[in-house]
Chains A and B, each alone.
Chain A
Amino acid sequence: AIQMTQSPSSLSASVGDRVTITCRASQGIRNDLGWYQQKPGKAPKLLIYAASILQSGVPSRFSGSGSGTDFTLTISSLQPEDFATYYCLQDYNYPLTFGGGTKVEIK
C-alpha cells in the first residue's frame, strides 16, 4: 500500500496567516491526490481534488499543488472557520490511503 506522510501533524497559527501543509507519497501517484477538511464531530469535506482543482463552493484562499510524490495544501489567509484537521488522500490505486492528518489550531 502507498504510504502518505503528512507534515506537520499539528500547527498553531493566527487569523490572517498563510498556512502550508505538505503530503508525501511513498511512490509516485501522478496528481491523484485530494485534500479534506474535518471539523470536530463532522464528516470530512472535500476541498481539493486532482492535486489542484478547487471543489465547487470552497473559498479561493485554499489551493493545492504538486505531482508525483510531493504535494502542498495552502491556505493563503487563515480564517476563524479554517481551524480544523486536514487530511490528504491518494486516489492513485487501491487500497486508498489517507495521510495522518494536520490539526490547525489557534495561536
Chain B
Amino acid sequence: DAMVIQNPRYQVTQFGKPVTLSCSQTLNHNVMYWYQQKSSQAPKLLFHYYDKDFNNEADTPDNFQSRRPNTSFCFLDIRSPGLGDAAMYLCATSRGFRGGTDTQYFGPGTRLTVL
C-alpha cells in the first residue's frame, strides 16, 4: 500500500542535543510537509517542500531545519531541542494541485520527548 512512513515513532533526546526525524513516502507526491502538534492543540505547519522548493512558515523558529534529498524522503532537524519542543511531529504529503483541491495524507507521527 502507498503510504507515509515516519521513523522513529518515539524519540527521546536530551536538552540541547541535535535530533533528526525521518519521513518517507511511496505516494510519489510532490509536496511534503512537517507539522508540530502539542497536546490538545491543532497541528501547526512548520514548513513544506514543493519538489525541491523549500517554504518556511514565518513563525517557525530557526532551531528547526529541513532537508529533502529526493522525492521520497524528507528530514526534520532540530538543532538544539528545548523542553518546549517536546511534541508530536507529523509528516504529510500531497500531490500539489496548484489550481485545484489538494488533500494531505499524514504519517503516524513521531513523539519527541526532551529530557
Are A and B interaction partners?
no
Interface residues of A (CB under 8 A from B): none
